[in-house]
Amino acid sequence: MLKKIIKIWLELGFFGMLMIIVFNYSTEIKKVFQTEVKSNYKIVKVIDGDTVEFEALFLPNPLKKTLKLRIDGVDTPEKGFRAKCNKERKKAKIAKDFTSYMISNAKEVNVVLKDWGKWGGRIVGDLEIDGKLLSKLLIDNRHAAVYIDGKGKKRDWCK
């Protein structure tokens, strides 16, 4: 069996094997979305105001045991080189700090899984923080704009 795996590995390379693994487990991952709408997966990193990384121990080896979650329905300012101006960079830091603060000071955080994202290999969903959705908290506190399914014009955070 090991010789067979090594032979396939050499023929397909790393990415080919990775695609086989993902394809074989994609139905199992879809079951997670269908059956585990909400779970208290551990948040391991806040990437920006509307993206976090959570522990995904259900993923098979050799895949990394974390996934990125894009908060559905919102757009926060961009950071780094994606920001169009310094004002946007500052607002991005404030949005990220807000998300970090809400998570770290919560009594209960649940990850709400909705679907696979279409950009950057992320999952689309939300965080339920002490019974309130992060998407709504970000909008209510003016750290995000409503942005449904990537449609519409993104907000100009430089104004």
How confident is the model over 53-58, as a mean pLDDT?
90
- Looking at per-residue pLDDT, the higher value among 22 and 45 belongs to 45
- The answer to whether the CB of 127 falls within 8 A of the CB of 48 is no
- The answer to whether the CB of 76 falls within 8 A of the CB of 86 is no
Distance CA 39, CA 34 (A): 12
Of 57, 53, 48, residue with least CA distance to 77: 48
pLDDT at 156 over 50: yes
pLDDT of residue 36: 43
* Predicted model pTM: 0.75
pLDDT at 28 over 90: no
Delimit the domains of the chain by residue range: 1-35, 37-146
- The answer to whether the CB of 55 falls within 8 A of the CB of 41 is yes
| DSSP assignment letter at 42 | P
Helices of type H across the chain? 2-35, 86-104, 134-140
What is the CATH code for 37-146? 2.40.50.90
